[in-house]
Amino acid sequence: MSNDNNNSLKKIMLNGLLNKNPILVSGMVIAPVIVLANNFKNAVMLVIAFSLITFFTLLVSSFVPKSIVYTIRIILYTLIGALVYVPSVILLNYFMPEGVEAIGIFFPLFITNSFIVTRSESIFFLETKGKMFLDIVFCILGYDAAVLIFAALREILASGTIGGKMTGMPASFRVFEHPFGGFIMLGLFAALFRSILLLIKRVRQK
């Protein structure tokens, strides 16, 4: 029994972090990453805001009963998100006002992110609250890790710096600072991630 539990635990962990990584595999909540995560500083702020809003919204959303009509349920999720936004923005504005300014309109946009809708719907398929809790945490962690690594790489490529310090790159590709550069870079990054996963799978099979 405990072995079974361990296995499913591992599966949830790996799903969130790797196999079903929200940003690299499923393509959820990519807008702020593409527009804003062109330097490490913004990415840190983005990750904090995303984790705060998504975690608490999903936590509260899990109490929404399934018997409510789908239409109303969707509105309820977003409403909860908007309510969670109020304390989050006050809190973050108190501690790091410049950060909140830097992410601008993308902070309130986390309310309607596709991650909240899909996760809160899929929660119904998981048996226990504990598993659901773990699932959310690892998905958010997977998202955060991917965004931070992506932003660091993007900053190195786009401006030759990391966290504002020079790295001595021979050329900087300014395209990657723009949203369209973000699209291309995220596409390349996701392809790289997928081929690495494939490689790991092959090595394991051998």
Cα separations (Å) of 60 from 38, 45, 53, 77? 32, 23, 11, 9
Q: Give, in degrees to the nearest 5, the angle at Cα 165 between 24 and 140.
A: 25
Per-residue contact string for residues 13-52; x = within reach of other proteins by CB under 8 A: ------------xxxxxxx--xx-----------------
Stretch that binds other proteins, among 3-11, 58-66, 103-111, 120-128 (CB under 8 A): 103-111
Residues in the chain: 206
Which amino acid is it at 28? M
Q: Is 96 left (phi over 0), alpha (psi -120 to 50) or beta?
A: beta
* DSSP-derived secondary structure letter, 105: T
Stretch that binds other proteins, among 10-18, 127-135, 137-145, 181-189 (CB under 8 A): 181-189
Rounded to whole angstroms, the Cα distance separating 46 from 99 reads: 9
Query: Does 183 participate in binding other proteins (rule CB under 8 A)?
Result: yes
Which one of 3, 71, 128, 205 is in contact with other proteins (CB under 8 A)? 71
- Contact residues: other proteins, CB under 8 A: 25-31, 34-35, 70-71, 74-75, 78-79, 81-83, 85-86, 89-90, 105, 108-109, 111-114, 117, 170-171, 173-175, 178-188, 190-192, 194-195, 198
